[in-house]
Amino acid sequence: MKKVLENIIEKNREWSKRGEVASYIPELAKANPNALGICVTTLDGEEYFAGDYDSKFTIQSISKVVTLMLAILDNGTEYVFSKIGMEPTESAFNSIVNLENNKQKKPLNPMINAGAIATVSLISGETAEEKFNRILKFTRKITGNDTIDVNNNVYLCEKATGDRNRALAYFMKGNGIIQGDVEDILDVYFKACSMEVTCRDISRIGALLANAGVLLNNERVISREACRIIKTIMVTCGMYDASGKFAVHIGIPAKSGVGGGIMAAVPRRMGIGVLGPSLDHKGNSIAGIKVLESLSQEFDLSIF
Ligand code: DON
């Protein structure tokens, strides 16, 4: 397996040159565009690594899966999906027009920014600090990594430049989709996006989903049913408006982030974490997608 992963990384490295690192959050522009790494966590507990697997990056939108898990644990699926839809969209992850065009006024799904901000607003806690600390504790638990923390520079930068997210959040408050202090909710969202991880950390999150909610130490943290729903939404919405093509060519539930990470869950088989900060124009790791395509073909991983 290790040899196969190394070959896949080397074969796909050149793809990084065809994309660009995210720059709309200036701190992210500092990432190394040529980094490319992978970790695979199989459900029998083996872990395989290749390339720049130990580089750190911010989790960004992959946190949307983590906050969705926690919001479901706190409120149940029925309540969560009464506030947030489960429909894919052909608009970008930060689209505003989607919120207005949609009759029910609720965000289309939890994988786009509006949906994730609404999801975060449902997480239990008296204060923004308590809510975020619950997210951090939960992330540490499901990754088995107690050292995960916020990259403060990225957090402050997101907060300073996040006006589009502010617009989405205030619009949703005006429509009664979210309650409470909007700046507090955004603060939790920005911090969740700024948690710093490695390929191994996100691979472990993938393994939890692949294992239907049970950690590798046999502890159940979320129900099989919630995992089924989350994996389905990852297939239809996890790669944003590129989810259809990704499903056709790779066929694995996955979630990307603008830090360059892609977390994938192959049901009953493995979790996968990939890093490649150079992005395509839809905000997904350009080489990371190619790595997953090669891996899917090599081991026949498509669920379809
Ligand atoms: O809200 C934002 O713009 C970022 N913190 C997260 C967006 C993101 O990762 C979209 N992913 N491709």
Establish whether 155 is a catalytic residue.
no
Assess if residue 303 is contained within a domain.
no
Predicted confidence (pLDDT) at residue 162 exceeds the cutoff of 90 = yes
pLDDT digits (tens, 9 = 90+) for 46-74: 999 999 999 999 999 999 999 999 999 99
User: In the beta sheet, which residues pair with residue 51?
Assistant: 37
Element (H or E) spanning 212, and its range? none
Element (H or E) spanning 42, and its range? strand 37-42
0.85 cut: is pTM over it?
A: yes
Beta-carbon contacts of 183 under 8 Å, excluding residues fewer than 6 positions away, are none
Choose one of 193, 217, 241: the last residue of a domain: 193
Which residue among 16, 48, 61, 95 is the active-site one?
61
pLDDT digits (tens, 9 = 90+) for 254-272: 999 999 999 999 999 999 9
Ligand 1 centroid to 95 CA: how many Å? 12
Confidence of residue 85 (pLDDT cuts 50, 70, 90): very high
Domain count, the chain: 2
Nearest-angstrom CA–CA distance, 291 and 288: 5
Regarding whether 187 and 71 lie in a shared domain, the answer is yes
Choose one of 130, 162, 193: the last residue of a domain: 193
Coil, strand or helix at 256: strand
Nearest-angstrom CA–CA distance, 84 and 252: 23
Across 17-35, average pLDDT: 94
Assess if residue 86 is contained within a domain.
yes
Any known ligand binding at 61?
yes
What residue numbers bound the domain in which 27 lies?
2-57+198-298
Regarding whether 167 and 85 lie in a shared domain, the answer is yes
Any known ligand binding at 240?
yes
pLDDT digits (tens, 9 = 90+) for 227-254: 999 999 999 999 988 999 999 999 999 9
Nearest-angstrom CA–CA distance, 6 and 112: 32
Strands of 162-216, DSSP E: 195-197
Regarding whether 53 and 65 lie in a shared domain, the answer is no
Any known ligand binding at 94?
no
Establish whether 258 is a catalytic residue.
yes
Assess if residue 234 is contained within a domain.
yes
pLDDT at 214: 98
Assess if residue 133 is contained within a domain.
yes
Regarding whether 183 and 145 lie in a shared domain, the answer is yes
Closest CA to ligand 1's atom 1: 113
Assess if residue 38 is contained within a domain.
yes
Assess if residue 172 is contained within a domain.
yes
Ligand 1 centroid to 96 CA: how many Å? 14
Assess if residue 304 is contained within a domain.
no
Which residue among 53, 63, 64, 154 is the active-site one?
64
- Minimum-distance ligand 1 atom for the alpha carbon of 279: 12
Coil, strand or helix at 125: coil
Regarding whether 72 and 182 lie in a shared domain, the answer is yes
Choose one of 167, 193, 219: the last residue of a domain: 193
Regarding whether 281 and 213 lie in a shared domain, the answer is yes
Regarding whether 189 and 65 lie in a shared domain, the answer is yes
Using alpha carbons, select from 113, 261, 283, 110 the residue that is nearest to residue 190.
Answer: 113
Regarding whether 163 and 147 lie in a shared domain, the answer is yes
Regarding whether 103 and 227 lie in a shared domain, the answer is no
Scanning the structure block, which residue is given the tokens 């997904």?
Answer: 284
Any known ligand binding at 218?
no
- Quick one: what percent of the chain has pLDDT higher than 90? 92
Is residue 43 packed enough to be buried (19+ CB in 10 Å), middle (13-18) or exposed (0-12)?
middle
Coil, strand or helix at 272: strand
Regarding whether 182 and 228 lie in a shared domain, the answer is no
Predicted confidence (pLDDT) at residue 101 exceeds the cutoff of 80 = no
Regarding whether 101 and 187 lie in a shared domain, the answer is yes
Across 154-174, average pLDDT: 96
Nearest-angstrom CA–CA distance, 161 and 86: 28
Establish whether 61 is a catalytic residue.
yes
Regarding whether 85 and 40 lie in a shared domain, the answer is no
Does the C-beta of 121 come closer than 6 Å to ligand 1? no
CATH number of the structural domain spanning residue 22? 3.40.710.10
Tokens matching residue 55: 């580089």
